[in-house]
Amino acid sequence: MYIKTIDFAKYSSIKIGQPTEVLMIEKGDTIPNDRYLIGGANNLLISPTPPPLMMLSKDFAYIKEEGDMLEIGAAMLTGRIVSYARKHHIAGFEFCAKLPGTMGGMLFMNAGVKEYEIFNILHSIKIEGEWIKKEAIPHGYRFANLGGIATAARFEIHRGFSQERLDRLLSLRSNQPHDPSAGSAFKNPSGDAAGRLIEAVGLKGFRKGDMAWSEVHANFLVNLGKGSFEEAKYLIDLAQEKIYKAYDIHLVTEIRIL
């Protein structure tokens, strides 16, 4: 293992944070249990005082075929997974296009688009050295209780990459803002949409400093320039408070605040 300084104002998708020392885990290392693991930082909001951080090194960024199984390391980027699936005619990973992050981040969040979720196609996850079948892992909408650090995942190989499905899913993304964000800020409460609620309490487009609830899609907290952690946190708290007062609904953040 070794230390790397990562500037989260550049690295994180929402472009907030500061240069921070991150412990890089290499193959064979014992994974410490007193540090918070990050992936591609596409779903994170880093405060000025984050907990000690760690990250899987490129040793965990691999894809290999073993018989009828595809094994993907947890540090592998989603974009590269889609390219691999296209090149090798493998079905099921089309929805990962434009879903920024790593395999590990997808597993932790049970990331997905519409009816496609990573757990639908998953076979098993290697968690701290042990392969665990997905049936043994509690999971649901944007949630999976991994119980530890995932270092790899296995998928049954089904041939037939669908460019048509990929194009259809990409077109769904056209209603997403292009400004830096961390994806959806809140999980949708059951039977409703967080974006609709944010709009209903008058916060769509509402700005604090350089952070705003997007005009394009209200559930995206966007950075319009030099947005800060404090501005982002202010808007998150404000939306939660207003929606709770108006509808008695407590919105849960999808973004991890560190």
Ligand X SMILES: Cc1cc2nc3c(=O)[nH]c(=O)nc-3n(C[C@H](O)[C@H](O)[C@H](O)COP(=O)(O)OP(=O)(O)OC[C@H]3O[C@@H](n4cnc5c(N)ncnc54)[C@H](O)[C@@H]3O)c2cc1C
Query: Mind telling me the catalytic residues?
Result: 142, 184, 254
Q: Considering the rule CB under 6 A, would residue 53 count as an interface residue with ligand X?
A: no
Q: CA 169, 175, 178, 182 torsion: positive or negative? A: negative
Q: In the set 46, 53, 109, 203, which binds ligand X (CB under 6 A)?
A: 109
Task: Tell me the closest approach of the beta carbon of residue 48 to ligand X, in angstroms.
Answer: 18
Is residue 224 close enough to count as binding ligand X by CB under 6 A?
Answer: no
Tokens of 182: 């961390």
Does position 146 bind ligand X by CB under 6 A? yes
Specify the residue, 112 or 247, whose C-beta has the smaller distance to ligand X.
Answer: 112
CB of 158 to ligand X, least distance (A): 22
223 near ligand X (CB under 6 A) = no
Minimal distance, residue 185 CB to ligand X, in Å:
10
- Is position 235 an interface residue for ligand X (rule: CB under 6 A)? no
Is residue 152 near ligand X by the rule CB under 6 A?
no
Among 20, 53, 70, 102, indicate the residue that binds ligand X (CB under 6 A).
Answer: 102
**10 to 39, contacts with ligand X by CB under 6 A?**
13, 37-39
Choosing from 100, 188, 221, 236, the residue that interacts with ligand X (CB under 6 A) is: 100
Q: With beta carbons less than 8 A apart as the criterion, state whether 25 and 56 touch.
A: yes
205/202 Cα distance (integer angstroms):
8
- Segment interacting with ligand X, rule: CB under 6 A, options 64-72, 100-108, 194-202, 223-231: 100-108
Write the Ramachandran bin of 50: left for phi over 0, alpha for psi from -120 to 50, otherwise beta: beta
Q: Which 177-216 positions form the footprint of ligand X (CB under 6 A)?
A: 181-183
User: Under the rule (CB under 6 A), what is the footprint of ligand X?
Assistant: 13, 37-44, 56, 74, 99-102, 104-106, 108-109, 111-113, 142, 146, 149-150, 176, 181-183, 256
